[in-house]
């Protein structure tokens, strides 16, 4: 089969698998999401990035959410690397939900295809080689861990890791400019998607360089020049945006205890997805519920079995295969150790873990979820699993090897459909948003009430991410936000604003510069509805109703000065 036709057909297979695992999303691409919280947050972020794609960092990071905090975008990753796919889709559709969903589905397919290309170019050009590469791509792109992250498209989008590593290997063996340029470009593109990929790619690059040096496929000089040049390019690409993060230092808002929450903690975490519940019960006797999806570092029982077979088989073959297996196993182990987070608990003692060393690197202390570094381990497992699949395919006739591989893989992929507790959430655009966009002044600041909090800590609830997305439709600044980090003062303000329509809430809102409050009466509790209708409660700040329909009311805040005694101190400093 010609290489171009083979690549096109393989891409179609990966796309079909992506549609299956995200079903029924394909039936409602334009108005629904699979993860109501993070999907809205990332859709808003990518849309804001797209609309300010040529802006300088000061404009880009001054996003119109979490008002009045300056440079609010510095409290979340910018994910600009995703714009290669998202931006054209948004420009064509002007629909952030459609562009996000298409990016998500395409990311699953592109991640699998990238791993396939790496394995295909490294394996014999035979039917068994295709089977090994195809299985590796499936294991990497459609692991149960990725299927829990429908809202985190940046963690799904490991598009460039495969091409990056291929160019690295070829560049180490044959120092030609096209491989060097490809390696630098793919490394920069992948790390622009998420800062976690700086560590993930660094770990995989280190593994490849060690393998090439041990097997005498390159020299220290060549590897040093290539990796050093790529590091310089990545630094130059990232520096303009990184400076804002380093100046703002959101890592100061992340505690080791919070990082520990999003780290590998128990053996069951390695089979922690709902898809592996029965396997966990069989192996451990009792399956515990993994509290956060970030901790569900589940590569899938099939992946683990194939990787184990591939590792054992490598020792029955040549020295080169043994070197590959040992190097890959080493990268898996290091990835696992980093996923443990800043510390592990043994008995009643906290023992420092390797991830804590990353605190020494400026900016990397802000990485809240160490478990995401398991991506490097997933790639290693996919490589070993692909090797096992290729060996099995050699035992079949070449004419039937590829069809059998596709059928068997289909039987594995179909059960990995959307987990039962995940369903489509429909996005609606109320008429009041259009009214705000047309009627309110451009410098208006909107507070959407009620402001939802998870608990007394003041952390925003998932509903706040949808309100961020709403701001795209009415195009005004908003106090609402659902970002990765939150300054302490903003947490304090949110606790006050969540008490709407209390007197201190209105005084705080006015002091902050809020000009209008959009009230979703359907989500107000009965006590708040009664209080809103109680005129005496508005004595410090007068509310004037500008708009009302069967669900929403829009109020303008009186701009008259408020008595200082009624303004909470945390709002005074801003007002």
pLDDT score recorded for residue 456: 53
pLDDT score recorded for residue 544: 84
Please tell me the distance from the alpha carbon of residue 493 to that of residue 498, in angstroms, as a whole number. Answer: 8
Best mean pLDDT range from 229-233, 362-366, 468-472, 486-490 = 229-233
Mean pLDDT of 351-367: 77
Tell me the C-alpha to C-alpha distance, in Å, between residue 171 and each of 198, 207, 223: 20, 15, 9
Q: What are phi and psi of 181, to 5 degrees?
A: -65, -45
Count the neighbouring beta carbons within 10 Å of the beta carbon of residue 524. 18
Whether residue 135 is preceded by a cis peptide bond, meaning omega within 30 degrees of 0, is: no
In this predicted structure, which of 81-90, 333-342, 354-363 has the lowest mean pLDDT?
A: 354-363
Element (H, E) at 77: none
pLDDT score recorded for residue 537: 46
- Using only C-alpha atoms, the chain has a radius of gyration, in whole angstroms, of 26
pLDDT score recorded for residue 276: 77
Q: Is the pLDDT at 376 greater than 90, yes or no?
A: yes
Alpha carbon 189 to its chain centroid, in Å, reads 15
Q: Is the pLDDT at 423 greater than 50, yes or no?
A: yes
Please tell me the distance from the alpha carbon of residue 148 to that of residue 152, in angstroms, as a whole number. Answer: 9
**What b/e readout covers 41-67, taking b as 16+ CB neighbours within 10 angstroms?**
bbbbbbbbbbeeeeeebeebbbbbbbb
pLDDT digits (tens, 9 = 90+) for 63-116: 888 888 888 888 888 899 999 999 999 999 999 999 999 999 999 999 999 999
Q: Is the pLDDT at 414 greater than 80, yes or no?
A: no
pLDDT bucket at 150, cuts 50 / 70 / 90 = confident
Give me 446's structure tokens: 């909107």
Strand-pair category, 343-346 with 552-557: unpaired
Q: Is the pLDDT at 559 greater than 60, yes or no?
A: yes
Cβ atoms 287, 268 nearer than 8 A: yes
Q: What are phi and psi of 543, to 5 degrees?
A: -105, 130
Question: Which residue has tokens 């609010």?
Answer: 72
Q: Which of 212, 184, 211, 188 is nearest to 198 (CA)?
A: 188
Q: Is the pLDDT at 497 greater than 90, yes or no?
A: no
Mean pLDDT of 454-475: 76
What residues pair up with 553 in beta bridges, in sequence order? 519, 548
The predicted model scores a pTM of 0.92
Cβ atoms 321, 391 nearer than 8 A: no
Mean pLDDT of 513-525: 87
Q: Which of 248, 200, 203, 252 is nearest to 366 (CA)?
A: 252
Q: Is 557 helix (H, G, I), strand (E, B) or coil?
A: strand
Cβ atoms 263, 118 nearer than 8 A: no
Please tell me the distance from the alpha carbon of residue 371 to that of residue 65, in angstroms, as a whole number. Answer: 28
Cβ atoms 444, 471 nearer than 8 A: no
Q: What are phi and psi of 52, to 5 degrees?
A: -125, 40
pLDDT digits (tens, 9 = 90+) for 226-254: 999 999 999 999 888 888 777 766 556 77
Give me 260's structure tokens: 């520990």
Q: What angle do CA 252, 254, 255 make, to 5 degrees?
A: 105
Q: What are phi and psi of 296, to 5 degrees?
A: -80, 70
Cβ atoms 153, 107 nearer than 8 A: yes
Enter the DSSP assignment of 428: -
Count the neighbouring beta carbons within 10 Å of the beta carbon of residue 178. 11
pLDDT bucket at 386, cuts 50 / 70 / 90 = very high
Best mean pLDDT range from 173-182, 254-263, 403-412, 559-568 = 173-182
pLDDT bucket at 182, cuts 50 / 70 / 90 = very high
pLDDT bucket at 538, cuts 50 / 70 / 90 = very low
Count the neighbouring beta carbons within 10 Å of the beta carbon of residue 540. 17
pLDDT digits (tens, 9 = 90+) for 44-55: 999 999 988 887
Task: Report the chain's mean pLDDT, rounded to a whole number.
Answer: 84
pLDDT score recorded for residue 539: 52
User: Which of residues 543 and 380 earns the better pLDDT score?
Assistant: 380
Q: Is the pLDDT at 403 greater than 70, yes or no?
A: yes
pLDDT score recorded for residue 50: 92
High-pLDDT (> 70) share of the chain, %: 90
Largest CA distance in the chain: 86
Mean pLDDT of 204-222: 91
Q: Is the pLDDT at 126 greater than 60, yes or no?
A: yes
């Amino acid at each position: 089969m010609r290489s171009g036709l083979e690549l096109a057909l393989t891409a179609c297979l990966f796309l079909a698998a992506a549609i299956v695992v995200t079903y029924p999303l394909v039936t409602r691409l334009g108005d629904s999401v699979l993860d109501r919280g993070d999907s809205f947050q990332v859709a808003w972020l990518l849309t804001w990035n797209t609309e300010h794609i040529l802006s300088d960092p000061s404009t880009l990071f001054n996003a119109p959410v979490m008002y009045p905090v300056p440079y609010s975008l510095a409290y979340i990753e910018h994910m600009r690397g995703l714009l290669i796919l998202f931006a054209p889709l948004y420009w064509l559709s002007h629909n952030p939900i459609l562009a996000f969903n298409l990016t998500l589905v395409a990311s699953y397919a592109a991640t699998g295809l990238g791993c396939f290309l790496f394995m295909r170019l490294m394996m014999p050009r035979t039917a068994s080689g295709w089977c090994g590469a195809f299985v590796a791509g499936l294991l990497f792109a459609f692991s149960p861990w990725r299927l829990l992250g429908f809202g985190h498209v940046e963690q799904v989008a490991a598009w460039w890791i495969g091409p990056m590593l291929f160019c690295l290997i070829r560049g180490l063996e044959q120092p030609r400019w096209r491989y060097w340029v490809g390696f630098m470009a793919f490394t920069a593109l992948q790390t622009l998607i998420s800062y976690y990929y700086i560590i993930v790619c660094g770990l995989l690059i280190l593994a490849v360089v060690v393998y090439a040096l041990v097997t005498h496929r390159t020299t220290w000089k060549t590897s040093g020049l290539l990796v050093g040049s790529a590091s310089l390019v990545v630094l130059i690409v990232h520096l303009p945006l990184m400076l804002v993060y380093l100046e703002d230092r959101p890592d100061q808002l992340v505690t080791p205890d919070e990082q520990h929450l999003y780290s590998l903690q128990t053996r069951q975490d390695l089979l922690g997805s709902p898809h592996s519940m029965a396997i966990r019960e069989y192996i451990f006797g009792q399956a515990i519920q993994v509290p956060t999806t970030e901790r569900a570092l589940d590569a899938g029982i099939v992946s683990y079995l194939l990787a184990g077979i591939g590792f054992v088989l490598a020792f029955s073959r040549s020295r080169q295969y043994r070197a590959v297996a040992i190097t890959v196993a080493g990268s898996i182990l290091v990835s696992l150790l980093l996923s443990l987070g800043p510390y592990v608990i043994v008995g009643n003692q906290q023992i420092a873990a390797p991830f804590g060393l990353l605190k020494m690197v400026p900016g990397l202390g802000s990485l809240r979820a160490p478990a995401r570094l398991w991506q490097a381990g997933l790639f290693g497992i996919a490589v070993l699993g692909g090797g096992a699949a290729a060996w099995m395919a050699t035992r079949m006739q070449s004419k039937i090897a590829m069809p059998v591989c596709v059928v068997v893989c289909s039987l594995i992929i179909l059960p990995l459909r959307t987990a039962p507790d995940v369903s489509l959430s429909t996005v609606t655009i109320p008429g009041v948003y259009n009214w705000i966009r047309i009627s309110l002044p451009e410098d208006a600041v909107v507070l959407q009430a009620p402001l939802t909090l998870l608990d007394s800590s003041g952390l925003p609830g998932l509903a706040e991410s949808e309100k961020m997305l709403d701001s795209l439709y009415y195009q005004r600044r908003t106090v609402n936000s659902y970002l990765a980090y939150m300054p302490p003062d903003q947490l304090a303000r949110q606790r006050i604003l969540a008490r709407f329509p209390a007197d201190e809430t209105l005084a705080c809102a006015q002091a902050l510069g809020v000009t209008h409050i959009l009230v979703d009466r359907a989500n107000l509790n009965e006590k708040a509805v009664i209080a809103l209708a109680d005129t005496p409660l508005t004595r410090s700040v007068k509310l004037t109703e500008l708009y009302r329909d069967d669900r929403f009311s829009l109020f303008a805040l009186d701009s008259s000065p408020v008595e200082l005694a009624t303004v909470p101190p945390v709002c005074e400093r801003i007002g």
